[in-house]
Amino acid sequence: MAGRARAFSDETVIRLARERFVPVAENSSALERQPDAKGAFFRHIAEQGHYGGRTYPTATRQGSYAFTADGRFLGSINSRDPGEMAAMMEGALARWEERRGDDAPSPVALGDDRDESGYPADGLVLAVAARDLPRAIDDRPDDWRTIAWNLDYAWFTAAEARALMPERRGVGARRSAPRAVTRRLARFHLRDFVRGEPFAWPEAAIRREELASEIAATGGGETRLRLRGAIRLEHEAVWVRPEDGATRRYPSGYDAALRGEATWDEARGAFTAFELLAVGPRWGASQYNNREDDLGPAPMGIAFGLAGRSPAERTAPHCLRTWRRAAETAAGGRVPVAPDDYFRGP
């Protein structure tokens, strides 16, 4: 996020985006293989762009694309440099002027556009933000890495949300969170995704997982909770670099204390406020999280807060959007994730 912000904080890029384009932000990782109309449209555009046909060292199609609503490709780039970004946008506008009178392109073959994401409309949906925390001694380069941050979403069912509430409604009443909740937090959301996208933690990485709620106050049809817990993860990340065939091995982990507060509306049977913070040292690196120059241990924070209901905030958790390749195994560094694994209980 911080890296992209460098290009999109430039005055020329802002002016062009505001006055001449309709900006849209999407996560390409999902669209690269998403089996619906949106995914088909993205692939139609991306295969004409800067990474079209690419498979090495990865098959990523991330970047910025300029195109028309009817599927005409105008330009693309994958760069943090504001000058390069502005040049791409200006070139796309020139091609738009040249092609405005052309006949419409052939229709894009679209797939089934049903929403099968598993979005828990009646459940607990949290926005997740990760960033590095201040260090006593900071020897990192003075660039985007020092202010990097990233976003994700976490999904919990209505039953899982209710299971966070103590059964007895009285100040001091406590309840331990079900393992389905702590497991999901640990494996899929306490990842070091500040700079990039690590894989999900394997089951064996969970060394400690605790989360309990305690009623702090009641009144006016609401119950306020304190949330306390701890999660520790340890795992040796192993992968082979496509560039040189070398095997990388990094002992990795995150030792997080959990603290938070939440408000439960008794009439609605749902949370109207929910804040949870994970703080502690992280260490190691994985293939795509850009940490080989910053192995730690170093402090990292991951914050969870109640998400809204806008279309953008219905974005699926990244682990669900990306790593569904069952043929790939944890031994190779990638842990496959499917909805029945993400939502699995004890």
Q: What is the pLDDT of residues 41-98, one digit of tens each?
A: 888 998 999 998 887 767 788 889 999 888 889 999 998 888 999 999 999 999 888 8
pLDDT, tens digit, 9 for 90 and up, residues 163-188: 999 999 999 999 999 999 999 999 99
pLDDT band at residue 114 using 50, 70 and 90 as cut-offs: very low
| Nearest by Cα to 309 from 126, 117, 37 | 126
Pairing of strands 174-176, 149-156: unpaired
Specify whether the CB–CB gap between 31 and 39 falls below 8 A: yes
pTM: 0.75
Q: What is the mean pLDDT of residues 210-215?
A: 97
What is the distance between the alpha carbons of residues 326 and 336, in angstroms, rounded to a whole number?
Answer: 5
Percent residues over pLDDT 70 in the chain: 86
Evaluate if residue 343 carries a pLDDT over 70: yes
Q: What is the pLDDT of residue 331?
A: 38
pLDDT band at residue 101 using 50, 70 and 90 as cut-offs: low
CB atoms within 10 A of CB 207: 13
pLDDT, tens digit, 9 for 90 and up, residues 8-43: 778 888 898 888 998 888 878 777 877 778 888 888
Q: What is the pLDDT of residue 280?
A: 98
Specify whether the CB–CB gap between 207 and 256 falls below 8 A: no
CA distances, 108 to each of 70, 105, 132, 151 (Å)? 8, 8, 42, 31
* One-letter-per-residue 3-state SS of the chain: CHHHHHHHCCHHHHHHHHHHCCCCCCCHHHHCCCCCHHHHHHHHHHCCCCCCCCCCCCCCCCCEEEECCCCCEEEEECCCCHHHHHHHHHHHHHHHHHHCCCCCCCCCCCCCCCCCCCCCCCCEEEEEEEEECCCCCCCCCCCHHHHCEEEEEEEECHHHHHCCCCCCCCCCCEEECCHHHHHHHHHHHCCCCCCCCCCCCCHHHEEEEEEEEEEEEEECCEEEEEEEEEEEEEEEEEEECCCCCCEEEEEEEEEEEEEEEEEEECCCCEEEEEEEEEEEEEECCCCCCCCCCCCCCEEEEEEEEECCCCHHHHCCCHHHHHCCCCCCCHHHCCCCCCHHHHCCCC
Q: What is the pLDDT of residue 329?
A: 39
Provide the CB-side half-sphere exposure for 295 (13 A, CA).
9
Evaluate if residue 129 carries a pLDDT over 50: yes
Q: What is the pLDDT of residue 29?
A: 74
Q: What six digits make up the tokens of 170?
A: 């009285």
Evaluate if residue 110 carries a pLDDT over 60: no
